Structure 1
Amino acid sequence: MLQTYSEQTLVRDLVNEFPKTADVFKSVRIDFCCGGATPIAEAAAAGGVDIGNLMANLAEVIEKSSGGETDLKVWTDSASDTIIDHVISEYHNPLREEFLNLSPYVTKVSRVHGGHRPELMKVYELYYELKKEMLEHVAKEEETVFPLIRQLDADTVEDREQALNYIKELEKEHDHAGAILKELREITSDFTPPADACGTYRLVYKRLEMLEGQTFIHVHLENNILFPRYF
């Protein structure tokens, strides 16, 4: 548990202790999942964020939420089995369903409006790249890596080094997904539709932003809570 924090505290450590600070980091485009192993000051400098304002905003959120943090903090003390089951039920399964439901809307908006909104063709391209990457990624987790993690816990894994290499591969895939989401946010001007956008257009941008938020928490649980236990 963090007793104190400072500009040199790692982003992931602060989010682990005070999950609502994730909203502050997200608002200034500081990556708290894939880039979580970075001191707050370094992350702020890299993003051109005023460190004084950032620390003040973090302090305000922490003061308001102290004593009520459970969404993520609870997982730092949970068994890996419990975290894995939670990730599958709360992130993998909903992710598959969301890709199934959202894809027709993304296709429709790009087809109808892409002629005069060229950024929508890029949104289409990035979305389907993300969909392919993430569906393959969660399948690999469930079929290969999560069973290996359970074996690591039970001390029954045949090749520990190979298992750890699989985990490292997942982290690289997380980085790639994070890069796609960052580009989606940039190309959509922070998921802000134009003033004359139709309802479906607005729906796509809103759900893409929600998909980003869910993916960030999903990756944070793995990169910063589950995976470090084995290195």
Structure 2
Amino acid sequence: MITLSEQPIGQLARDLPGATAVFHRFKLDFCCGGGQSLREVATRKGINLADVLEALSLLQQDTPDLDLLTRLDDQPLVEHILTRYHDVHREQLPELIRLAQRVERVHGGHPSCPAGLSAHLEEMAAELEAHMQKEEKILFPMITRGMAGMAVAPVQVMRHEHDDHGAALDKLLALTHDLTLPEGACNTWQALYRGLQTLRNDLMEHIHLENNVLFQRVDGQLGGEHHG
């Protein structure tokens, strides 16, 4: 039997109830790096593997939403992704851009000011919108109509773009000093970082559901080959 530490982190996120919350806490990438083992991801991040394993062993065996979602058929899963993530990102980003612009304008002289954050969020919003449009217009209709063979190439493209989104989230953390608020941060700054944390969690779960659940089904329908 393969130990937890040797299992792919994306598989653990998918199959172990509550694991995604643990991975969020340790800032471990379970969406883009989903094919790597837990040990590899933790080692690369410089995180003590024993601490992660202990947190996983303490998980309550209640079943969170993500665990239930992996059992949905393709059509309801796609519908969930559209309403829970695509629609939500379209609401989140314009507000976060406004908040970031205000913080940069008012606190530009502060050493902790996230200079360049609003421009980065605008770029993220544009790339995410283009990505979601491709999924909505091309890939998702293929999947829900059972056209797995035709979906292989678009899935490869989407996975590659997911890696780009992961890199954008890393840059977001770098610009905000790991979302660390300075002492006495104003309400706008606090709201911005809270919103960014929510966006980060949502986007990681969004990518995870697509990469490690929906897209893996496309791979599985083609004899289990992995095209990537």
Same fold (TM over 0.5): yes
Write the distance in 2 (CA, Å) between the matches of 1:132 and 1:195. Answer: 32
User: Are residues 1:189 and 2:187 paired?
Assistant: no
Superposition map of 1:98-137 within 5 A? 98-117=92-111, 119-137=113-131
How many residues in Structure 1 have an aligned counterpart in Structure 2? 219
SS in 2 for 1:36: coil
Candidates 18, 42, 45, aligned match of 1:44: 42
Superposition map of 1:47-86 within 5 A? 47-61=45-59, 65-66=60-61, 68-86=62-80
Instruction: Assess if the C-alpha contact under 8 Å between 2:169 and 2:200 holds in 1.
Output: yes
Residue type at the aligned position of 1:191: L
Write the distance in 2 (CA, Å) between the matches of 1:122 and 1:95. Answer: 20
Shift of 1:11: 0.8
Equivalent position of 2:224 in the other structure: none
SS in 2 for 1:204: helix
Shift of 1:118: 6.9
Shift of 1:119: 4.6
C-alpha RMSD of the superposition: 1.9
SS in 1 for 2:115: helix
Superposition map of 1:1-231 within 5 A? 5-61=3-59, 65-66=60-61, 68-117=62-111, 119-151=113-145, 153=146, 155=147, 160-161=149-150, 163-231=151-219
Write the distance in 2 (CA, Å) between the matches of 1:80 and 1:114. Answer: 47
- TM-score of the two chains, using structure 1 as the length reference: 0.88
Shift of 1:117: 4.0
- C-alpha change, 1:123 and 1:19, in structure 2 (3 Å) is farther
Instruction: Assess if the C-alpha contact under 8 Å between 1:106 and 1:124 holds in 2.
Output: yes
Instruction: Assess if the C-alpha contact under 8 Å between 1:12 and 1:32 holds in 2.
Output: yes
- C-alpha change, 1:53 and 1:116, in structure 2 (3 Å) is closer
List gaps (5 residues or longer) in structure 1.
Answer: none
